[in-house]
Amino acid sequence: MPATGQDLIARQAPIDRKMKVVDSIQLKHLIYSEEFSMPASELYDDWDNHYAHRVSALPDSFLIDLRGFCMPTTSRVLTSNFGPRWGRAHKGLDIKVYIGDTIRAAFNGKVRVVRYEAAGYGKFVVIRHDNGLETIYGHMSKQLVQPNQEVRAGDPIGLGGNTGRSRGSHLHFETRLCGIALNPCLMFDFRNQDVVDDYYMFRKSRYQRESASANRLRGVSAGANVYASTGGSAREEAPIYKPTKKTSANLTHNHKVKKGETLYSIARKHGMTVAEIQKLNHLGKKSKVVPGQILKYN
């Protein structure tokens, strides 16, 4: 090899070694950034498209990022809460929806399961989210996604239904961490269609007590039915939960009537009956509302 060629190789070698170091640093930074933004990679070792949930090693504490959340449905009516119910554990929330209502992904993530379970969830979807949670959507009439499909918060994933072990159309919604069911009320306020906070710090030592506390903060007991009839098929559900006068007063809010709204639409929006709205506002049975009118609801 000519001397000039040897000199060129000698001069190039340090540059090549330097680029390898730079590439290595960049790669490590990229991996760190992805793991930081996707804590799920720290919690789950496997990916299976068949089982709905399987308990794995649970961390002593884990910070769950709730930013970017999208309510799976615009319904504010809970037909059954998290906790003991009819002699067994109810692992999620039942939310009143009608057949054909759009169900949406709660967070960004990847669809893990799309299956049918006749004696349980019916047509259901499981999504593993970047923040470490897995959400389950049950009793749907139709699934709109496929296993391994990536979804964004708010993407349609199915339609409301009454499939599987269900009495009346509704959405069964679960939030799980490493297969353990967490009370969704710890993180989400369906009545106000918002998250409770930007983050939820899970602590293994106290999450069971916090689950019960979350129900009390929402004004219901664990597993209690809180359905306010709007004329739907959910009349088949258990008897309506009646809050105490003290609880009712604490939960009273004001609604400003908008153009086109009726007592029925306002009652449905806030999970009440027309009769309850009329009684709370001292309205007659034939009373009508007008834009700008302030109504109380709880």
- The C-alpha atoms of residue 197 and residue 220 are separated, in whole angstroms, by 20
**Structural domain harbouring 122:** 61-217
Domain CATH code at residue 182: 2.70.70.10
The size of the chain, in residues, is: 298
DSSP secondary-structure letter at 77?
-
Shared domain for 77 and 204, answered yes or no, is: yes
Residue owning tokens 């060629």: 5
Give yes or no: residues 3 and 73 share one domain: no
Q: Same domain, yes or no, for 32 and 75?
A: no
Burial of 136 (0-12, 13-18, 19+ CB in 10 A): buried
100 close to 247: Cβ distance less than 8 angstroms: no
- Please give the radius of gyration of the chain, using alpha carbons only, rounded to the nearest integer: 25
**Range among 56-65, 71-80, 148-157, 207-216 with highest mean pLDDT value:** 148-157
Q: In whole numbers, what is the pLDDT of the chain averaged over residues?
A: 77
Cβ neighbours of residue 59 closer than 8 Å, sequence gap 6 or more: 43, 178, 202, 204
Q: Is the pLDDT of residue 235 over 90?
A: no
% of the chain at pLDDT higher than 90: 35
125 contact partners, CB below 8 Å, separation of at least 6:
111, 113, 114, 136, 137, 140, 143, 145, 157, 158
Average pLDDT of the segment spanning 105-116? 96
How confident is the model over 145-172, as a mean pLDDT? 94
Residues 6+ apart with CB under 8 A from 89: 83
Among 270, 256, 261, 268, smallest CA distance to 288 is for 261
278 with 135, same domain: the answer is no
Q: Which is higher by pLDDT, 274 or 158?
A: 158
130 and 194 fall within a common domain: yes
Torsion of CA 8, 11, 15, 20, to 10 degrees: 80
Do 25 and 80 sit in the same domain of this protein? no
Q: What is the number of other CB atoms lying within 10 angstroms of the CB of residue 142?
A: 13
Quote the pLDDT of residue 256: 81
Residue 3: per-residue pLDDT: 56
Instruction: Render the burial of 81-101: b for 16+ CB within 10 Å, e for the rest.
Output: bbbebeeeebbbbbbbbbeeb
User: How many independent structural domains does the chain possess?
Assistant: 3
In this structure, of 186-200, 222-236, 257-271, the range with the lowest mean pLDDT score is: 222-236
Q: Which phi-psi region, left, alpha or beta, contains residue 281 (left: φ > 0; alpha: ψ -120 to 50)?
A: alpha
43 is a domain residue: no
Model confidence at 248: pLDDT above 60: no
Q: With respect to residue 45, please indicate whether it lies within any of the assigned structural domains.
A: no
Q: State the pTM of this model.
A: 0.62
Q: DSSP labels for 199-218?
A: EEEEETTTHHHHHHHHHHHT
Asked whether residue 190 falls in the same domain as residue 283, the answer is no
**CATH number of the domain encompassing residue 287:** 3.10.350.10
pLDDT of 265 > 50? The answer is yes
Q: Which of 49-53, 141-145, 203-207, 233-237 has the lowest mean pLDDT?
A: 233-237
Task: Based on the fold, state whether residues 71 and 208 are members of the same structural domain.
Answer: yes
Q: How confident is the model at residue 234 (pLDDT cuts 50, 70, 90)?
A: very low
